[in-house]
Chains A and B, each alone.
Chain A
Amino acid sequence: EAGVTQFPSHSVIEKGQTVTLRCDPISGHDNLYWYRRVMGKEIKFLLHFVKESKQDESGMPNNRFLAERTGGTYSTLKVQPAELEDSGVYFCASSPDRWSYTFGSGTRLTIV
């Protein structure tokens, strides 16, 4: 079974630019989650999709972040415009049942 795939693995962009992160969940997993770890802090929840619907987006930091999951398959997380405090590692996870997760390897995002 293929795992959760995220790309790019690393991204370095300038402040004010736009970046789009992608997550391909395990096939058949309706639940898809985005998390973020900023330097020195714990991993924090961003949002949860069930199929293509946003179930909980309470962790999204502000309206510069836009997540989509068209067709209930892969998901994208766009940051526009990027700010320095957006730097961190963005993890995606998928689950068939909301309780057992498989995480992706993460995208390390650096804003300079």
Chain B
Amino acid sequence: EDKVVQSPLSLVVHEGDTVTLNCSYEVTNFRSLLWYKQEKKAPTFLFMLTSSGIEKKSGRLSSILDKKELSSILNITATQTGDSAIYLCAVHGSGNTGKLIFGQGTTLQVKP
């Protein structure tokens, strides 16, 4: 059965800290891994990582896919209170339907 596990489940840091969120997966026929940020409403897309695109960066956020270890990390440098959110990792499941398998999410709280 396809599975995604995130760690830690929650994290509290202070502004300016650097955080690393982890995601590991077991899925048949891996296609892509996605990171989302969820504040109060809809999950918003951050990154998609594939076998041909294993590293992405946008501002203070970056993500790397480790195909050998079947895992990914999401790094946030110089955290701000606005980074407080649930960070979701998901992989496209087996088959061709585009179905996503989600991890439990990491709740990040950034204190001033």
Residues of A within 8 A of B (CB): 3-4, 31, 33, 35, 41-45, 48, 55-56, 59, 91, 95, 97-106
Residues of B within 8 A of A (CB): 4, 31-32, 34, 36, 41-45, 48, 88, 90, 92-93, 95-105
Q: Are B102 and A42 in contact (CB under 8 A)?
A: yes
If A48-B97, A102-B42 are given as contacts, then 5 extra A-B residue pairs at C-beta distance below 8 Å, sorted by A number, are: A33-B98, A33-B99, A43-B102, A56-B95, A100-B45
Q: Are B98 and A31 in contact (CB under 8 A)?
A: yes
In the complex, how many residue pairs between chain A and chain B have their CB atoms under 8 Å apart?
Answer: 62
User: Which B residues are CB-close (under 8 A) to A33?
Assistant: 98-100
Query: Most chain-B CB neighbours within 10 Å: which of A41, A97, A99, A104?
Result: A99
Closest A residue by C-beta to B93:
A45
User: Which A residues are CB-close (under 8 A) to B41?
Assistant: 105-106
A4 and B42 in contact, given A48-B97, A56-B97, A99-B32 (Cβ under 8 angstroms):
yes
CB distance from B70 to the nearest CB of A (A): 17
User: Which B residues are CB-close (under 8 A) to A55?
Assistant: 97
